[in-house]
Amino acid sequence: MVDQVTADAKWYSTSIDPQILASTTLALFQSGVVNETNLLAHVRARRHDFTKLTG
C-alpha cells in the first residue's frame, strides 16, 4: 500500500508516516472498506493525514 500511495504522488517513502498510514488503512478496513481498489482510493483521498510535514 505504501508503495502505491507514494508512487502516485511521487513522494519519497520517508515523507509518509507509516504508523498513521497503517492505522488509517486498518480503520478503513474495520469500517467495511475491504475491496483493495476501494481501500486504496480511500487511503489516497486521505494522504494528507499521514504525510510528514518538512521544513
CA–CA dist 44, 51 (Å, integer)? 11
pLDDT attached to residue 33: 92
pLDDT attached to residue 52: 72
Q: Residues 1-55: pLDDT tens digits?
A: 667 766 766 655 567 777 888 888 889 999 999 898 898 899 888 888 877 766 5
Q: Which residues lie below 8 Å from residue 13, measured CB to CB, with a gap of 6+?
A: 2, 3, 6
Q: Where are the alpha helices (DSSP H) in 1-55?
A: 2-9, 18-30, 36-45
pLDDT attached to residue 8: 65
This prediction's pTM: 0.68
